[in-house]
Chains A and B, each alone.
Chain A
Amino acid sequence: MPEQDAKDHLCEQIDTYISHRIVLADSVIEEYAMAKIQNGAVIMTYARSSVVERVLIAAWTRGKRFSVKVVDSRPMLEGKNMLAQFVKVGIPCTYLLINGVGSVIAEVSMVFLGAHAINSNGSVYSRAGTALVAMLAKEHSVPVLVLSETYKYSNNIQLDSFTKNELAPIPDPRTSSRRITTRDRLGNETDVDDDTRNPNLQSINPLYDLTPHTHITVLVTEVGLIPPSAISTLAGLRDKDKGMQLSV
């Protein structure tokens, strides 16, 4: 095959993949997830997920009336972005940090979470803090819905959050716009994130954590609502049908 043809073919495949398994998939997920939202529901979200944001905004636009509790955590504070989008559309929201989840969970009807990857045993690899929220929800019998396209499925099996993770750099105190400081007894201000002062202190900022499948009620994908235990059936069928071996 001439090189240019090969390149065109590859680009076409990529475009089809994006269109089917991301863009269209998101619309289908929207429909499935919206059907689970009832008027008067109190929905909890964590950090920022584009799918969750889409679903809730679409549901509100279509006339469903509910409220959202946006849970956020330092240092990324991604939830603020999602909060801004919700408020713009008019959804009544409550904003809280993750340490407040235990106090409000009793009022929540369901939890919507996003995912970075879905493992073959049904556990979900997502933004650090997700596992906490899911676990608390499960303890209080609140259904946990993970919204994710099937392309995030991975044949991996991961048993804990340590073996595979990413550490984000601690924000540089001299360049970041927002400084959180503490004061010691002598009145000296210290940056909380500044670890150059104390050689015995090492800050760790893991980006992801693993939510075991037992804490998840259902995975909402474009092929339907799937219980976490059955997620591995996706692997064989998808690859065989589409012939696109783009699994991780």
Chain B
Amino acid sequence: MAQPPPLLMLSNDQTDAIKFQKDASKFDVISAYKTFVNDPDISMPVAAMQSLSELIAQTEIATMFELMEAVKDAATKLKRHYSHNSVSLSAGCDVFYQFISSLRDFGQDFEGFKSHIIAAVREYAQNTKQVKDTIADNVDAFIKDDSVILTHGYSRVVVNAFLLSHRKGRRISVYVTETRPRGLGMRTHELLTKAGIPCTIILDSAVAYAMDKVDMIMVGCEAVVESGGIVNAVGSCQMAMIAKAFNKPVHVLAESYKWTRLFPLSQYDLPTHNDHILSFDLVSTPPTSGSNSPLPGTPRRHHPVLRTTDSIPNLLFAAQRHPPLDTTMSTNSMSNVMPVGQAGRNPEVDYTPPEYITLLFTDAGILTPEGISSYLVTMSLRSESS
């Protein structure tokens, strides 16, 4: 038996948590993920990569095929567990899978192969800050003095970019939407205000009201999709559409591990969409034919699914990655304006089509939405033929 595989170097308390799961057959990818994702600097896709890498570190599998299968299973488990907000997580898993598929020159040295992956992911996680800085440098050239910027939710890349520009001496002011229902905008407000950047929170519904005062929109995203559009916290699409109506540029900041081969044809084609979202309550009985299939030839296009009971648990308040920060404000404004049963019928993310996006700032450069599609297609074709 070879020497025990190296563990990822983490902070002490996290190392203890991982050492606790020494037994590879009992490795729980979901609890590993939860541990990694608690780090405030680590985003969901990177945490996914780290947990898959940890699976490799702890596994006793000795063949390539079984390892790939184990990784695939773990990825599926993760995606299913977080199905209501899984797009960026999926992207991270896919990037990881493509990465290990592309490593070919290890031959018989399986342990070396595993160590290489673990080291690469560790370096990747440590470099996320650098990636954000690269993007921030590119963005800085587009921010003029006295700019008023509108952003949505909380994105580490965007906040990092603002802080960097501010440090360089640019005068910027920022509007951030509340971003219901999780109130992520509050976190952005907190961080920017602490750094001395004037920041005001506006209602999600006040975006059109404020748009004339804004010079540009800058948002992060959960994922960049193959069409050149993005998936981001719900409200991004309408912000982008309003910006287009007012001729304001919409800039998206996205690290390259967020690029995914998804191609949503509409909001309802997203993997995060399900029949419960935007459904109606009805007194009559639901259709009898099978799962959710209505009779063919039903006239309405996106017909709402009829449900009589509200048995779906409230997904939104379940897996909280960002617990409420400023207690008084958040509990008062975020709490129960909507009945809990209704809150579960709302989406967490939406899809912004490429026609509403001006530019995407990535660590691979500044690209137009068409450019991202070309890049993604080329990358996937290259990986297919190699």
Contacts and interface: CB of A to CB of B under 8 A. Distances in A.
A227 B373 contact: yes
Contact of B381 (A109, A141, A237): A237
A109 B228 contact: no
B301 A143 contact: no
Which of B263, B293, B378: most chain A Cβ within 10 A?
B263
B267 to A, nearest CB: 11
Contacts of B384: 223
A7 to B, nearest CB: 29
B377 A230 contact: yes
B374 A233 contact: yes
Given A110-B265, A143-B266, A241-B385, A226 B296 contact: no
Interface in B166-209: none
Contacts, number: 87
Interface residues of B, number: 32
Given A226-B373, A227-B227, A229-B228, A36 B265 contact: yes
Nearest to B378: A233
A36 B265 CA distance: 8
Contacts of A238: 381
A108 B266 CA distance: 14
B382 A237 contact: yes
B296 A65 contact: yes
Interface in A18-73: 36, 39-40, 42, 65-67
B226 interface: yes
Given A92-B296, A143-B266, A226-B373, A109 B378 contact: no
B373 A40 contact: no
Given A40-B294, A229-B373, A218 B381 contact: no
B244 interface: no
A229 B374 contact: yes
B310 interface: no
B380 interface: yes
A224 interface: yes
B299 to A, nearest CB: 5
Interface string A5-16: 000000000000
Contacts of A166: none
B104 interface: no
A54 B214 CA distance: 51
Contacts of A224: 226, 261, 263, 377, 380
Contact of A67 (B292, B296, B354): B296
Given A67-B297, A109-B302, A234 B263 contact: no
A233 B384 CA distance: 14
B140 interface: no
B108 interface: no
Interface band, chain A: 20 to 34
Contact of B378 (A66, A92, A225, A237): A237
A232 B378 CA distance: 10
A207 interface: no
Contacts of B378: 233, 237
Contact of A233 (B261, B266, B303, B377): B377
A180 interface: no
B374 A39 contact: no
B373 A230 contact: yes
A106 B296 CA distance: 16
Interface in A177-233: 217-218, 223-227, 229-230, 232-233
A226 B303 CA distance: 28
A226 B377 contact: yes
A108 B301 contact: yes
Contact of A230 (B302, B374, B382): B374
Contact of A237 (B293, B294, B385): B385
Given A36-B265, A230-B373, A109 B301 contact: yes
B3 interface: no
B215 interface: no
B296 A225 contact: no
B73 interface: no
Nearest to A232: B374
Interface in B327-385: 354, 370, 373-374, 376-378, 380-382, 384-385
The 9 closest A-B pairs by CB, nearest first: A230-B373, A39-B293, A143-B265, A225-B263, A229-B370, A67-B296, A67-B297, A230-B374, A241-B385
Given A39-B291, A226-B377, A230-B370, 4 more contacts: A36-B269, A66-B296, A109-B301, A230-B377
10 contacts: A36-B269, A40-B293, A40-B296, A65-B293, A92-B296, A107-B300, A225-B226, A225-B263, A227-B354, A227-B373
